[in-house]
Structure 1
Amino acid sequence: MTGVTSELGCNLLEKLLRCFPGVKIHAVLRSREFMNQTDRIHKRIWNSPGFERLRQERPDAMSRVECYEGNLIYTDLGIREEDHKAVANVSLVFHTGGPAKKLLDYCHKLPKLQAVVVTSNLFSVVPDQIIETALEGDPDYPSDLPLVVLRLPPLGPAHRDPLPGYVEKLQEATALMVGAGHMYGRADLPVQIIPMDIATNTFIGAAWELDKRGKDVKLGPTFYNASTIDCSWGELIRKGARASRNFRYPTFRVRGMSSSWMLHWLLVFLFEWLPSFICDTILYITRQKPRMLPEYRRIRKLLSDFEPMTTRTVNINHRKINDLIKLLSPEDREAFPMRAELDIEAYVLCAAAAVRRYCVNEGNLKIVRYVMPAFCAFLVLTISYLYYNWERIYNAFPIQCPTDKHPRKNEE
């Protein structure tokens, strides 16, 4: 496995260890933040909330994980010479993040290799008709490997595994779902999000299908377009209203989506930037650390980066994924669902609860809870005053036309 510390990589690692007790996993990753590769997995990842279920069901699961210092930009992945013999026994390669070229080059040196599954961004290709074959914008994949290329849309919170709605880090899709800010886009377009555990199951299913073909497998890349949530952006936002009320994200924001650029930024200015600026000004005057504007900028960057998903019309073919699902037994379909058939309202509610638990600063929540009603009342009173006293204000500041400077000449 590579990319094991990513959100998708962690979810895939947890699923493999929990559902396949006889599997041994070799993870290639870098040392980082004063932690070596072993500590990053055995301490940070193993002790994370996403592995709580695994810790209870299989407390010795991490004994089946071997960690190697490596880097995806180096030849032979930068693995030490003495570790190559252990890695040579690998039969299946999962690549969940980062550049894949050096990894695919290294796969040619694995004598027992049966399948390679790599991830690709579904929207990195150029055409608006995304079929399950090589397209303009795809990298050059080798034609002499048993390779599966899984095109994924942006990841959303988990549907079921390890926990319903589970998410540790606020990403673009999750920020939209929980109503962290107003979104620019078309509400009628279909949602392009996949729950992370559905993506994990698709990884496993694609590898299984490739291995099932055995000697009949043709070398070269096989492309799959992963399934997405079946609803529109407007429906997702509308059904997330309950989650936004029960588990409010602690920012000054107005929930919704608009296709009007001017209306969108007017709402962002009035209900997101302006109250954040006023609040941080008060915090600065009282010698406290400003916190709302940095949070506003973080959320605004996440949502701005997500705009191509909510404004681009794309027709995506899912024929191969549908054919793969038909090959599974009813038990496997239940254990490894690859189609995001879910209750949207319940899904967003669980996601908002997880975000509230794992991603929210409670101090910000208290500020928003007390300041936002006062700001809205102030804004309403100001607009009402200007509306009912507009004529008086206009007469108090008369605008003199240039022709009025010489009245006699005008009379003549």
Structure 2
Amino acid sequence: MATIPEYYAGKSVLITGATGFMGKVLLEKLLRSCPGVKTTYVLVRSKAGQSPSARVADMINCKLFDRLREEQPDFAEKIVAVNSDLTQPDLDLSREDQDKLTGCVHIVFHCAATIRFNEPLKDAMQLNVLATQKMVSLAHRMKNLEVFIHVSTAYANCDRELIEEVVYPPPVDYRKLIDTLEWMDDKLVSLMTPKLIGERPNTYTYTKALAEYLVQQECGNLNVAIVRPSIVGASWKEPFPGWIDNFNGPSGIIIAAGKGILRTMRASNTAIADLVPVDVVINTTLAAAWYSGSQRHTRPKSVLVYNCTTGAINPFRWGEVEYHVISTFKRNPLEQAFRRPNVNLTSNHLINQYWIAVSHKAPAFLYDLCLRITGREPRMMKTITRLHKAMVVLEYFTSHSWVWNTDNVTMLINQMGAEDRRVFNFDVRQLHWAEYMENYCMGTKKYVLNEELSGLPAARKHLTKLRNIRYTFNTVLVVLLWRVFIARSQMARNIWYFVVNLCFKFLSYFRASSTMRY
């Protein structure tokens, strides 16, 4: 077979969701590593008064595209913004744009989706299922289409413990559900949602499962592959380590922990944190399109599914995530931290609620009270409320583990030549988690919070100040407890003297043993 860059040479590619986190990484990697690609069409809607072209121009001016800008200064000429709204009939494409896309596109990457876990079912169906149906319909009209890649999620079938690389039939016929939702009012849909989604935790995983089945049922003679990433995090290597540009998923939790705002979280220390770097997902996606496109004339048509996960190959647990995040931020603290980084993971609901009250709500209330007294706008309780909503959404995924089958991913690696394996690396056996997590944390500092490394000395001084304040507070608290309780009770005094005497004897014994050794 041709190499991956050779396969993409001279071809036109269509990308949905190109302004999203994964979409823009896909666009950058495709243009940088496959310089022979002819044109990349990106479906973008107008937003906040900005035209699609203006939104794309803003997007490619970000840090992510710096390396590409150095290597290929004219790369923007290959990007064509197409005005489209995936929720509208015919994707809101003009007749001229429809003719253009159906006449020249060779490869489709359908990345667009709503990633809000708590999206109302009707909205999630519009963006994740109906939009996919419209994209498949458009693909059927494309005269030169070689492959259609649908980006799903590894958690589409999270109601199963073992998840294989197959499309599972959903419990509800998606066609009947689409028809039913058309006449139902929002209140009735909201009441029915828990029954519909069953053991799945949210509408996101439910609608992504429906979308997978829809693609399988309606693809017909299309050459289709499905890529299922797990929890997508910062980049591993490309275009540079630790790149991240949003607070979504684990990134917001990591930042909250670094700021000292997050102190407790409901999670299992031993549960596998199936984080997967965004560049691993993108390299898998580009390679999947290459393999299916190159084999379209010789391989029987079937929907290939790729579980793009790390848990089965290079497991990493939530307790380890917590350790590396805290240790990184203690060495390289975030600026103006609220408290020193320290997070307690617990799987017990009652213990978690206790620590939320003691470590989250009480300090936030006192901090806001101080702000009010000094005439400033209170803000910490609002921050804590938003943080708790994010944690509730993630609890399901931080408390469970799954077994993933990744045979197709292994097969894909084996089909690639040595140079392609180097340039489009997605072999997570090579991933060193400690290094990755440090780069991830530093990426949130540099690219999300825009904090310069030159500010580290001041941030470290601030952290030392917070430590001294904590020690002073604890000392005062012990003295107060002594005065209120221990000094007034003979029994308490006896217990106190016994403990002190025991400690003194232990230290004396330790000192005597050390003297005898020397």
Tell me which interval the TM-score lies in, with the shorter structure as reference length: 0.7 to 0.9
Kindly indicate whether the alpha-carbon contact (under 8 Å) linking 1:177 and 1:236 is maintained by their aligned counterparts in 2: no
Shift of 1:393: 7.7
1:237 is the counterpart of 2:322: yes
Q: Deviations over 1:6-37 (max 9, x none)?
A: 10001111101111112110000111112110
**SS of residue paired to 2:296:** helix
Residue 390 of structure 1 is matched in structure 2 by 485
Kindly indicate whether the alpha-carbon contact (under 8 Å) linking 2:136 and 2:219 is maintained by their aligned counterparts in 1: no
Q: Within 2, Cα distance between the matches of 1:375 and 1:353?
A: 25
Shift of 1:368: 7.7
**SS of residue paired to 2:283:** helix
- Percent of aligned positions that are identical: 23
1:87 is the counterpart of 2:101: yes
Q: Within 1, Cα distance between the matches of 2:468 and 2:350?
A: 25
Residue 267 of structure 2 is matched in structure 1 by 185
* 1:63-102 aligned within 5 A: 63-88=77-102, 89-98=104-113, 99=128, 100-102=132-134
Kindly indicate whether the alpha-carbon contact (under 8 Å) linking 1:186 and 1:259 is maintained by their aligned counterparts in 2: yes
* 1:293-308 aligned within 5 A: 293-308=381-396
| 1:37 counterpart (52, 56, 64) | 52
CA change 1:328–1:388 in 2 (3 A) is farther
Unpaired runs of 5+ residues, structure 1, are 396-412
CA change 1:225–1:385 in 2 (3 A) is same
Residue 352 of structure 1 is matched in structure 2 by 441
1:338 is the counterpart of 2:338: no
Kindly indicate whether the alpha-carbon contact (under 8 Å) linking 2:368 and 2:381 is maintained by their aligned counterparts in 1: yes
Residue 3 of structure 1 is matched in structure 2 by 17
Residue 159 of structure 1 is matched in structure 2 by 236
Q: Within 2, Cα distance between the matches of 1:32 and 1:214?
A: 38
Residue 476 of structure 2 is matched in structure 1 by 381
Q: Within 2, Cα distance between the matches of 1:242 and 1:290?
A: 30
Q: Deviations over 1:101-159 (max 9, x none)?
A: 21112111111111011111211213221111112442222241211111111211110
Kindly indicate whether the alpha-carbon contact (under 8 Å) linking 1:251 and 1:368 is maintained by their aligned counterparts in 2: no
Q: Deviations over 1:162-220 (max 9, x none)?
A: 22011111222224455352321111122211111111101101101101212123334
CA change 1:319–1:177 in 2 (3 A) is farther
Q: Within 2, Cα distance between the matches of 1:262 and 1:384?
A: 30
Kindly indicate whether the alpha-carbon contact (under 8 Å) linking 2:33 and 2:423 is maintained by their aligned counterparts in 1: no
Q: Within 1, Cα distance between the matches of 2:363 and 2:461?
A: 11
Q: Deviations over 1:47-90 (max 9, x none)?
A: 11111111222121111011111111223211111112221200
| 1:280 counterpart (360, 368, 384) | 368
CA change 1:260–1:212 in 2 (3 A) is same
CA change 1:256–1:165 in 2 (3 A) is farther
Shift of 1:316: 1.0
Q: Deviations over 1:271-325 (max 9, x none)?
A: 3332222222212221223333333333333232211111123111111101111
1:317 is the counterpart of 2:350: no
Q: Within 1, Cα distance between the matches of 2:226 and 2:488?
A: 65
Q: Within 1, Cα distance between the matches of 2:20 and 2:387?
A: 20
Residue 123 of structure 1 is matched in structure 2 by 155
Q: Deviations over 1:222-254 (max 9, x none)?
A: 211102253122122223333121333535463
The farther-off stretch of 242-251 and 23-32 is 242-251
Residue 227 of structure 1 is matched in structure 2 by 309
Q: Within 1, Cα distance between the matches of 2:147 and 2:403?
A: 29
Letter in 2 for 1:133: V
Kindly indicate whether the alpha-carbon contact (under 8 Å) linking 1:146 and 1:218 is maintained by their aligned counterparts in 2: no
Q: Within 2, Cα distance between the matches of 1:4 and 1:220?
A: 27
Residue 404 of structure 1 is matched in structure 2 by none
Residue 176 of structure 2 is matched in structure 1 by none
Q: Within 2, Cα distance between the matches of 1:148 and 1:216?
A: 16
Kindly indicate whether the alpha-carbon contact (under 8 Å) linking 1:28 and 1:70 is maintained by their aligned counterparts in 2: yes
| 2:226 counterpart (130, 137, 149) | 149
Shift of 1:392: 6.7
Residue 498 of structure 2 is matched in structure 1 by none
Letter in 2 for 1:6: G
